[in-house]
Structure 1
């Protein structure tokens, strides 16, 4: 299972050193949190997330499966692309929603949610995209972001995920 600090770092797309610098801590501390030799308290996790512009909310429920964790990693990469080229990523997502409606009529509720979400700010979209809760998990099952990442980017995310788990 991926710990919160490792997930924050993966979503932010940073090295341990970069995350440590942003959070005003040391790289060995970040490494210790990720390896499990140290356990950050919730305030520390919130502070680290906030240092890279992410919000962190506790969730109660079943732990994420490996596939769900991988989906979060992928959406972290999509979030970085959204921040870098918002207009293009939103357009890709809207085209995909339109296409998905015709082939998956049972997903109308979640596709409507995505349409509404895409009208929000970048940070609101990212928060929904990376929500570890049940609704976030459901949204990622019908993600409209296919085609945002290049094949090479996807391979890099999968490689990063395998080394993180």
Structure 2
């Protein structure tokens, strides 16, 4: 069974792909902003602080957002759990990335 650290590492790996997508297609950043705005309207109160943090981070621009997105800290790991960037990868891209991650981390797949 995957540990919390495994899940955080998997999330970071997915966010690395998202960061690459954002670098290649900065317009995708607006899609994430739209997602965040929708979530802010309907998310549970427990999630709102994370969404507010993403809003503040994203207000600083794409590069600053990517830095935080890829940061290896407890704060960034927590933020990635409520990431407005998840929809930027296609299902096929996400599936392929998760399959590759499981192959690289077989201990976390049980």
Is the 2:29–2:62 Cα contact (8 Å) retained in structure 1?
no
Q: Aligned residue for 1:161? A: 101
- Report how far residue 132 of structure 1 moved: 1.5
Matched, 1:100 2:39: yes
Aligned length: 102
- TM-score normalised to structure 2 length: 0.82
After superposition, give the CA deviation of every residue in 1:35-65 in whole Å (9 maximum; x if it has no partner).
Answer: xxxxxxxxxxxxxxxxxxxxxxxxxxxx961
Moved segments of 4+, more than 4 Å: none
Q: What 5-or-longer segments of structure 1 have no aligned partner? A: 1-62
2:21 matches 1:86: no
Distance 2:77 2:56 in 1: 17
Deviation of residue 121 (structure 1)? Answer: 3.8
Q: Write 1 or 2 for the structure with the bigger share of helix.
A: 2
Alignment of 1:117 with 2:49, yes or no, is no
Relative contact order (alpha carbons < 8 A, sep ≥ 6): 1 or 2 greater?
2
Query: What's the RMSD between the two structures over aligned residues?
Result: 1.8
Paired residue for 1:71, among 3, 11, 25?
Answer: 11
Structure 2 gaps, min length 5: 106-110
Q: What is the CA-CA distance between 1:122 and the residue it aligns to? A: 3.0
Aligned partner (choices 71, 76, 87) of residue 136 of structure 1: 76
SS of match in other structure, 2:86: coil
